[in-house]
Amino acid sequence: MSSSTSPSYTRVAVLLHWLVALLIVINFAVGLSMEHFEGTPTRDQILFYHASFGSLVFILVILRLSWRITHRPPALPASVARWQVIAADVMHGLLYVLMLAVPLTGYLHRVAGGHPVSFFGLGTLPLLVDKNMSLRLLMGSVHTTLVWVLAFLVLGHVAAALKHHFIDRDGVLGRMWR
């Protein structure tokens, strides 16, 4: 099946997919760069953007989930093996959970450390927890671990899409590439 005959996601779903993907990649790189600026004012600026982009990812993923719930995704081609359909469903579920959990744990890490989270300087997010250093340390560790799990799953997601495009040539990648 060629990608031109394969059913596609809606334009909104495609836009949200690629926007969230881009923001995650950028924020991953920004997060990695912070360690090189430890103890400098530059680190605070980097952290400001990292937290703002993380908050934006969280908001966009909520929108994306809402869209997906109300707009059924296109079926995979009949040529895709049942185990791959199940694997794709599990992978997507895990990706959504992590795309919400990573920014949430980052937020909790910040506010539990007594640091408000600004959203691009437009305002601060509500403080849902009091200062708590034990929670801060825990959420910092959980955040870092979940980031690496998310990175691993994103690489698996990309590898599967490329396999479908270059090896299977079944139009699966074309559904999300308008």
pTM value is: 0.93
Q: How confident is the model at residue 1 (pLDDT cuts 50, 70, 90)?
A: very low
Q: Scan for tokens 């994306």, then name that residue.
A: 64
What pLDDT score does 6 carry? Answer: 57
What pLDDT score does 102 carry? Answer: 98
pLDDT at residue 178 above 90?
no
Q: Write the pLDDT tens digit of every residue in 107-147.
A: 999 999 999 999 999 999 999 999 999 999 999 999 999 99
pLDDT at residue 90 above 80?
yes
What pLDDT score does 3 carry? Answer: 40
DSSP states along 37-99: GTTSHHHHHHHHHHHHHHHHHHHHHHHHHHHHHHSPPPPPPTTS-HHHHHHHHHHHHHHHHHH
CB 3 within 8 A of CB 168: no
Residue 137 Cα to chain centre, angstroms: 22
The structural domains of the chain, ordered by start, are: 11-176 (1.20.950)
Q: How confident is the model at residue 4 (pLDDT cuts 50, 70, 90)?
A: very low
Q: Write the pLDDT tens digit of every residue in 21-43.
A: 999 999 999 999 998 999 999 99
